[in-house]
Amino acid sequence: MAEDLVLLEKKAPLATVIINRPKALNALNSKVLTALDNILDSLNEDNEVRVVILTGAGEKAFVAGADIAEMSQMSPLEGAGFSRFGQLVFKKVQDLKKPVIAAVNGFALGGGSELALASDFIYASDNAKFGVPEVTLGIFPGFGGTQRLPRLLGKGLAKEMILTGKMISAQEAYEIGMINRVMPQSDLMEAVKKVALQIAKNGPIAVSIAKNLVDVGYDIPLDDGCLMESRSFGMCCATEDKKEGMKAFLEKRKPEFTGK
Ligand code: DAK
């Protein structure tokens, strides 16, 4: 069943989404993308889930890219459809109402790096390898890599990765600011869950708006971004969570946010 290609483990307030094709190093084919798309829709509507963790099954790969065997058989029309669908799914990761943390547990190549880049931030195990090797296959990154990588790393480093197709270690990815933390594989999920729970304790509406402000504000002029920020701030002042957060502070207790 297509659903088995992507597993969902829910332990509120966290949900872990696991790309589950370990024999093919979790390569993304159309069925995986469809299953991921459906799970993202369900998570968006699930008010019990406040933070989503994205990882790959097994100890070797996060996602080793789009499925080369499937792509090799695609007509131009099918290729365009596949690329567009992948872009829309990755955009859904970026636009999810709640934060998505990528726990990169091995190879994150091509579409795998692009999927991690669509998340809000990345923690990786020290055996992880990042790269966008598409040019070695005669194609180029088609799931947003040519756009998200330069926004994160700057044009020079992004072009070096995209044009050489070379792999870099998790430590190098950390040093160039592609990922937030690197650690032994045995510590990865615990560290990701810890930071996810720290986020989940906060006001969910504020977290959701702040995520969106960073993403949308990054691509527009500063003044427009600041205007958007102040309007969103006004909206936030209308929430019960804002009242509860400040009241709890003044009463010297922990807030109980309801997402309203
Ligand atoms: N697709 C399909 N199968 C894959 C795969 C992939 N990306 N990566 C690995 N596998 C499969 C292998 O074929 C092998 O299958 P069997 O032979 O056992 O049946 C199994 O996973 C184990 O892989 P290896 O035997 O190769 O394992 P190794 O440890 O020796 O090597 C490796 C690991 C990650 C270095 C190697 O598997 C590798 O180089 N994999 C390919 C990595 C890669 O090139 N990834 C980028 C894929 S291209 C676009 C839209 C999207 C994209 C581009 C354009 N538009 C239309 C514009 C995205 C493109 C990509 O992501």
**Domain CATH code at residue 145:** 3.90.226.10
Residue 165 CB–ligand 1 contact under 6 Å: no
Residue 247 token pair: 């009241």
Centroid of ligand 1 to alpha carbon of 112 (angstroms): 10
- What mean pLDDT comes out for the span 173-183? 98
Residues 185 and 213 in one domain: no
Q: Is the pLDDT of residue 2 over 90?
A: no
Strands ordered across the beta sheet of 129-131:
61-63, 107-109, 129-131, 167-169
Which pTM does this prediction carry?
0.95
The domain of 146 spans 2-200
Residues 128 and 178 in one domain: yes
Q: Is the pLDDT of residue 44 over 70?
A: yes
**Alpha helices (runs of H) in the chain, residue ranges in sequence order:** 30-45, 68-72, 76-95, 111-118, 145-153, 155-164, 170-175, 185-200, 204-218, 222-236, 240-250
Centroid of ligand 1 to alpha carbon of 104 (angstroms): 16
Q: What is the pLDDT of residue 26?
A: 98
The pLDDT tens digits of the residues spanning 13-33 come to 999 999 999 999 999 999 999
Collapse the DSSP code of 247 into the 3-class scheme (helix H, G, I; strand E, B; otherwise coil) and give the result: helix
Q: How far apart are the first and last CA of the chain?
A: 37
Which residue's C-alpha comes closest to atom 30 of ligand 1?
25
Residues 196 and 213 in one domain: no
Residues 14 and 126 in one domain: yes
Q: What confidence tier does 162 reach under pLDDT thresholds 50, 70, 90?
A: very high
In a domain, 256, yes or no: no
Q: How many domains does the chain have?
A: 2
Question: Which residues does the annotation mark as catalytic?
Answer: 114, 134
In a domain, 258, yes or no: no
Atom of ligand 1 nearest to the CA of 68: 1
In a domain, 259, yes or no: no
Atom of ligand 1 nearest to the CA of 79: 56
Please answer whether residues 5 and 35 qualify as being in contact, where contact means their C-beta atoms are separated by less than 8 angstroms. Answer: yes
Please answer whether residues 123 and 104 qualify as being in contact, where contact means their C-beta atoms are separated by less than 8 angstroms. Answer: yes
Residue 192 CB–ligand 1 contact under 6 Å: no
- What mean pLDDT comes out for the span 68-97? 94
Residues 82 and 144 in one domain: yes
Neighbours of 227 (CB within 10 A): 13
Residue 167 token pair: 């792999």
Q: What is the mean pLDDT of the chain?
A: 96
Distance in angstroms (rounded) separating the CA atoms of residues 99 and 75: 36
Distance in angstroms (rounded) separating the CA atoms of residues 162 and 188: 27
Centroid of ligand 1 to alpha carbon of 118 (angstroms): 19
The pLDDT tens digits of the residues spanning 242-259 come to 999 999 999 999 999 999
In a domain, 186, yes or no: yes
